[in-house]
C-alpha cells in the first residue's frame, strides 16, 4: 500500500495511506490528538507510581515517546508494551518531526532507539520508562489482568471494522486489571455498544481539536 508523510494542522507529521484515505493520526493535529486522548484523558488519571500501559498500534511511536516524556513530569514509572504487526520503516521514522515539535531535541536518540531496539524484548529507555515492542496481530493478544491503561489506537472502523468489535474488546477487557482504563479517539455508537457488551462502563468525553467526542472505557 502507498504511504506518504503529511503535515497535520498542528504542524506535526503523520503517515497518510492514500488507498484507504486514512492517516496514522488526526489530520487536525497528530500531537494534539495524542496529548488529548491518551495523556490528558488516560495517563493523567493515574496517581499510583507504577503503571503498565498497552498500546494497540505502536505505529510511529508518537504515543510511546510522549508517554516517555510525561513519565518523570507525572512522577510515574511506566512499563509500556506496544503491539504492532506492520512496523514503520526507519526511513519513515527519520522523516517524522515529533522530536522537534515536542521540543525534545535532547531525547532525539531515545525516539530512534525506541524504533531500533529489537522486538519481543524489554528495554530500559530511562529510569521511568521500560519499553517492550511485540510484533503481533491484535487478534493474538492473550494477556490477562495485566494492564492499568490501554491506548486503543487502531485505524478507524471505516477501514478496519474487524478491530472495533466485541471480539477484540473482550481481549482488551481481559488484558486490563480491575479498575483499568481504555481510551480511544473513536466515538462511534457501534464501538461504544461493542465495549458495553463485553462489560465496560463507557464514557463519552469531548474529543481533540476537530472531533466532537472520544470514548473512555473502564473495567469496573
Ligand atoms: C492508527 S495507526 C497507529 C498509530 C500509532 N499509535 C502512532 O502513534 O503512530 C494503527 C496501527 O495499527 C497497525 N495494525 C493494523 N492492523 C493491525 C493488526 N491486525 N494487528 C496489529 N497491528 C495492526 C498498523 O500497522 C498501524 O501501525
Q: What is the pLDDT of residue 129?
A: 98
Ligand 1 and 60: CB distance under 6 A: yes
Q: What is the pLDDT of residue 201?
A: 98
Distances (CA, A) of 20 to 2, 17, 50, 68, 144: 9, 6, 38, 30, 33
With a CB cutoff of 8 Å and minimum separation 6, the contacts of 170 are 198
Instruction: Kindly give the distance from the C-alpha atom of residue 195 to the centroid of ligand 1, in angstroms, as a whole number.
Output: 19
Q: Whose CA is nearest to atom 10 of ligand 1?
A: 154
Instruction: Kindly give the distance from the C-alpha atom of residue 135 to the centroid of ligand 1, in angstroms, as a whole number.
Output: 11
Q: What does pTM read for this prediction?
A: 0.98
Residues of the chain with pLDDT under 50: none
Ligand 1 and 65: CB distance under 6 A: no
Residue 12 grid coordinates:
506535526
d(CA 207, CA 187): 8
| CB-based contact 188:159 (threshold 8 Å) | no
Instruction: Kindly give the distance from the C-alpha atom of residue 59 to the centroid of ligand 1, in angstroms, as a whole number.
Output: 5
Ligand 1 and 33: CB distance under 6 A: no
Pocket probe mutation, ligand 1, options 3, 59, 159, max atoms within 8 Å of Cβ: 59
How many residues are listed for the chain in this entry?
A: 220
Q: Which residue has the cell 474529543?
A: 207
Q: What is the pLDDT of residue 150?
A: 99
What DSSP assignment string belongs to 3-56? -EEEE-TTS-EEEEETTTTEESS-TT-HHHHIIIIIIITTGGG--SSEEEEEEE
Q: What is the pLDDT of residue 48?
A: 83
Q: What is the pLDDT of residue 119?
A: 98
Q: What is the pLDDT of residue 43?
A: 98
Pocket probe mutation, ligand 1, options 155, 156, 182, 208, max atoms within 8 Å of Cβ: 155
| CB-based contact 69:107 (threshold 8 Å) | yes
d(CA 124, CA 14): 26
Q: Whose CA is nearest to atom 11 of ligand 1?
A: 57
Amino acid at each position: 500500500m502507498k504511504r506518504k508523510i503529511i503535515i497535520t494542522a498542528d504542524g506535526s507529521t503523520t503517515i497518510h495511506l492514500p488507498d484507504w484515505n486514512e492517516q496514522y493520526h488526526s489530520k487536525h493535529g497528530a500531537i494534539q490528538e495524542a496529548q488529548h486522548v491518551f495523556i490528558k484523558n488516560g495517563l493523567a488519571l493515574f496517581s499510583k507510581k507504577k503503571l503498565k500501559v498497552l498500546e494497540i498500534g505502536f505505529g510511529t511511536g508518537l504515543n510511546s515517546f510522549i508517554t516517555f516524556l510525561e513519565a518523570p513530569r507525572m512522577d510515574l514509572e511506566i512499563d509500556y508494551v506496544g503491539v504492532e504487526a506492520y512496523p514503520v520503516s526507519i526511513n519513515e521514522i527519520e522523516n517524522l518531526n515529533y522530536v522537534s515539535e515536542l521540543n525534545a531535541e535532547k531525547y532525539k536518540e531515545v525516539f530512534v532507539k525506541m524504533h531500533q531496539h529489537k522486538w519481543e524484548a524489554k528495554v530500559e529507555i530511562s529510569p521511568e520508562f521500560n519499553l517492550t515492542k511485540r510484533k503481533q496481530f491484535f487478534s493474538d493478544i492473550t494477556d490477562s489482568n495485566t494492564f492499568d491503561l490501554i491506548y486503543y489506537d487502531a485505524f478507524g472502523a471505516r477501514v478496519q471494522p474487524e478491530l472495533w468489535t466485541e471480539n477484540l474488546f473482550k481481549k482488551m477487557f481481559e488484558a486490563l486489571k480491575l479498575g483499568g482504563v481504555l481510551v480511544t479517539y473513536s466515538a462511534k455508537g457501534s464501538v461504544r455498544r461493542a465495549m458495553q457488551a463485553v462489560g465496560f462502563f463507557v464514557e463519552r468525553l469531548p474529543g481533540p481539536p476537530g472531533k466532537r467526542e472520544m470514548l473512555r472505557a473502564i473495567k469496573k
